[in-house]
Structures are given as C-alpha cells and as structure tokens.
Amino acid sequence: MTTPTHSRRSDATRASILRAARERFAADGYERATIRAIAADAQIDPSMVMRYYGSKEGLFAAAAEFDLRLPDLTSVPPARLGEVLVRHFLSRWEGDETLVALLRAASTNPGAAERMRGIFADQLTAAVATFGTDPALTARRAGLVASQVLGLAFTRYIVRLPPMADTTPEELVAWIAPTLQRYLTGTPSS
C-alpha cells in the first residue's frame, strides 16, 4: 500500500507517456500506434509503458478516458439547444485530441467502439433526457444527434473532406445547429 497523496517521482513520466499515447493514437489509430513509437516520443523505454499501464489495451484505456462535459441543458433556452450543442462539441473536439484518438480507434478496435458507445449512449442520452420530452423518443433523439456530430468529426478530422475541414466553426454551427435542434425537439416529418 503506497501513499496516494504523496506525489511520486514517476508521475511526470506517466503523464508524458499518456500525452505521447494520445498523440499517436489520434494520428495513427490503435494498431499503427506502436508502444515503441509512443515510448520514443516520451523519451522512455518501452518496458516502462508496460510497467505503468500493464498492456497496450490498458494504455489505451487510460489514454482514452474522456468526459464530454456536456453543459446543463435545462438552463438553455429550448430554441437554442441545437446551437449550444454544436458549439460545445466543436470546441471540445478542437481542444482535445483524445476524442480524435477514440474516434480513429473505434473503427478497428472493439474496446474503443464499446467505449464510444458508452460515452454517447450514457452521457448524451442522459443530457437529452433532462428536458422532458417523450421518454420513448429520447434514445433515438440522442442517436440522431450522435450521428450528425460524429459525421462532422469524421469528415472534418479523420477523412478531412476539404469543404468540411476548411470551413470555419461558425459557419458549421450555422448549418448544423438547425439539424440538431430538429433531432432534439422536432418531429420526423417537420
């Protein structure tokens, strides 16, 4: 039993490994990101990665720890829900490469896909459930929002489709906010 309050000398190493891991996973995906490359980026021996994180899966699990940090939607004017959500997602995505790492890895790694499912099923569905719409529709609304938001991320950060990668966040917000708004509060036919 070690004292968790006392900061160990290896904390800096742990952190630099994690930082390098996020970068590599985001840039290369799960299988192309090798432990040796991550260790080289962190200027550390590959065996240290194993000692501190147990396995490659364990390292990824630690590196892909993520919270959407969705704002409290009950204090948002109902007509502006879509806009607030797109803006939040865009800023969350631009500022933290963890989500890109998770997105890339989710395509090929079952564990990463499971985690992505958890994040969007739990956190987003919970947020959608806070304003009282038909509970039977809540999951579907959250799923539709996830499809547009993840599609935006996929085309902008992964595939880098020129029109999506080059457009300014504000223009994207203007186009996509009404979509999310309808998914959240509208009906299919409207």
Which residues contact DNA by CB under 7 A?
Answer: 2, 8-10, 13, 33-37, 43-48, 50-51, 55-57
Q: Does 68 bind a second copy (CB under 8 A)?
A: no
First and final C-alpha spacing in the chain: 60
Burial (CB count within 10 angstroms: exposed 0-12, middle 13-18, buried 19+), residue 22: buried
In the bound state with DNA, the residue whose beta carbon lies nearer, of 13 and 130, is 13
> Judged by CB under 8 A, which of 26, 73, 149, 184 binds a second copy?
149
Residue 77 site contact among a second copy, DNA, none (CB < 5 to 8 Å, cut-off depends on kind):
none
In the bound state with a second copy, the residue whose beta carbon lies nearer, of 130 and 155, is 155
Q: Which of these ranges, 2-10, 49-57, 61-69, 114-122, lies near a second copy under the rule CB under 8 A? A: 114-122
Tokens at 144, concatenated: 């539709």
Least separation in angstroms between CB 65 and DNA: 18
Residue 92 site contact among a second copy, DNA, none (CB < 5 to 8 Å, cut-off depends on kind):
none
In the bound state with DNA, the residue whose beta carbon lies nearer, of 48 and 150, is 48
Q: Cα(62)–Cα(51) distance, rounded to whole angstroms?
A: 14
Tokens at 95, concatenated: 């500022």
Q: Cα(171)–Cα(16) distance, rounded to whole angstroms?
A: 36
Number of Cβ within 10 Å of residue 63's Cβ equals 26
Residues of this chain, 21-50, that bind a second copy according to CB under 8 A: 28-32
Q: Cα(117)–Cα(111) distance, rounded to whole angstroms?
A: 10
